[in-house]
Chain A
């Protein structure tokens, strides 16, 4: 579904390329962990797939479409199919939890619809938000102010938002880096389980190999802008 071929990314002024001839194939519904030290190129790799970082050479294809050539509406259409979860600072504090969750629907909503939802959410829309929160086990937080959430709850909301987006793949960038290891394990477990349930592909960067081997279909090591496959195994059921 996602395929990177000889991708090179050079940031202006940087001594060496952030990605140096990367090849990666991810099938639909597959869960892949990118593991490596910080600065190794994991974030750049994820952002390249979403079209947030321009590539210097090679190609990124999503279902055969070259991401680098998309602009404007077409690029937005592609982004709608790929949900992102970031390390932290990912939610908007001033919005309530249900607004953050339903932000996942912005890609399919018209602008007028989006503005209307901010001031006047319909019951059916709130049901959708509640259902998404139920899948991450915090339905009671529907109306809570986002800034009152704990770190684990914030990542659950981010996952709920990604689910509302109904994506074909989720790109998660160090989603548990700021959580304690026990909580981190829980969240990673939840993320892998939910994506498998819905047949969504997951590409997730991590810096601890520990989680990776337990939960993901494949683990890929990233070092100095290059990849190397570590292990492939059958999904845990």
Chain B
């Protein structure tokens, strides 16, 4: 049976990494949903210790996925199991935090009515909170799954297997035809997952498909060498975090580089995304044009920052420029789509009024569509900036410089105390940015 399976799998060699990557995403997501939903309910129902849970989830979410993958490889060993563990932790934090916020936003009257019946937390969640917010939950869940597929490629890049591992290998070996093929497969895969996402929004039951795929992957890739003692000693070796004099004096420059990658990358992505979005909005240009531009944006979005980075490090050389371009191209895809939707969703009356003055299309865009969409545009951009601080640390690890590269080099040289120091610094910066952008968003939403 095994031989038969293996023969079939060998016949199509790329099926293996594709299956691994897809399986990792499903398994990671399954664990994240199983663990994250109860945490979200605990936060939303103000269960004892909910403050601690909320803080812990926020803190956990600030650790970049690639960093988690590196730690998982050290502790669990090589292979997809490490990737699944990293994804499971990252997305448990994400699902727990965001689902918690969405549940809290449920209309209060029906929930109060349930509470008045003396229902317990689980019943309130099952009969009140979750059904009341199911549309938002599904919508975000589908988005998270989409991200998880790309993230499973990213964690592959540090040895967790799948497409990421293949891609790093192909690019390092300068086998560009193979790399291009792998990227094409990735783009198709993300498109399929996208379609699955809209299926989930329409038929929530499709989510159940995750269970068999996830369980199968979890079984096939179960960690065979998990050694608790080894994990403890490895963690012990990482403490206390320390940086020597030279590393400390280099730190400000590293931080500046990472911040520059995040800020300029977001700015580049926002600029490209803005102009592309104008010719990707159905209310501005004909459908034929939209069909083309949307596919371009989808492609830019399907390729994760790390993969853009791997390609760009080869073509423009190592350093922050590669990082800025990598973040810029991926962000352009993400923001372009969101901007285009914002342009399509503006209130129609002022646009009609401006158009009715006989204004040209460009003038109508400048005087009505863009100012009207300014709020959503700013919110999307701030979200992207927050995400890109994390991503800047991640692309650093593949040679774009900054704190990420320092972290990766320290890990490669087994200087784990230094590595942990960098992990903590990265974490602190990401967390600080999260808080900052949350404040800015709050202000943006008020006006």
Contacts and interface: CB of A to CB of B under 8 A. Distances in A.
Do A and B interact directly, with beta carbons closer than 8 Å? yes
Interface of A: 50, 52, 76-95, 99, 103-109, 111, 114-115, 118, 147, 158, 161, 165
B372 A103 contact: no
15 contacts: A79-B358, A84-B356, A85-B353, A87-B349, A92-B371, A93-B371, A94-B371, A103-B357, A103-B368, A104-B357, A105-B357, A106-B364, A107-B357, A118-B366, A118-B367
Contacts of B371: 92-95
Given A91-B350, A107-B358, A165-B358, 10 more contacts: A52-B356, A76-B360, A90-B350, A94-B375, A99-B367, A103-B359, A104-B357, A107-B357, A114-B360, A161-B357
Interface in B258-294: none
A77 B360 CA distance: 10
Interface string B345-362: 001011011111111101
A67 B350 CA distance: 22
5 closest A-B pairs by beta carbon, nearest first, are A107-B358, A80-B358, A106-B359, A94-B371, A89-B349
B374 interface: yes
A99 to B, nearest CB: 7
Contacts of B360: 76, 106, 111, 114
Contact of B362 (A89, A99, A115): A115
Main secondary structure of the interface of A (DSSP, over half): mixed
A85 B354 CA distance: 10
B124 to A, nearest CB: 39
A90 B356 contact: no
B14 to A, nearest CB: 49
Given A50-B356, A83-B356, A84-B353, A92 B368 contact: yes
A114 B349 contact: no
Interface of B: 347, 349-350, 352-360, 362-364, 366-368, 371-372, 374-375, 447
Contacts of B355: 79
Given A92-B368, A92-B372, A94-B374, A114 B359 contact: yes
B367 A103 contact: yes
A94 B447 CA distance: 10
Contacts of B359: 76, 103, 106-107, 114
Main SS class of interface, B: helix
B62 to A, nearest CB: 32
A92 B350 contact: yes
Nearest to B368: A92
A78 B357 CA distance: 9
B321 to A, nearest CB: 29
A114 B363 contact: yes
A83 to B, nearest CB: 7
Nearest to B356: A84
Contacts of A76: 358-360
A79 B374 contact: no
A81 B349 CA distance: 19
A28 B156 CA distance: 74
Given A89-B349, A93-B372, A115-B362, A80 B367 contact: no
Given A86-B349, A92-B367, A114-B363, A103 B358 contact: no
A173 to B, nearest CB: 10
Contacts of A86: 349, 352-353
A89 B357 contact: no
Contacts of B350: 89-92
B357 A106 contact: yes
B83 to A, nearest CB: 44
Contacts of B354: 92, 103, 106
Contacts of B447: 147
Given A103-B357, A107-B357, A107-B359, A89 B366 contact: no
A234 B372 CA distance: 43
Q: Which of B352, B358, B359, B447 has the most CB of A within 10 A?
A: B358
Contact of A89 (B347, B356, B364): B347
A80 B360 CA distance: 11
A156 B354 CA distance: 16
A52 B352 CA distance: 9
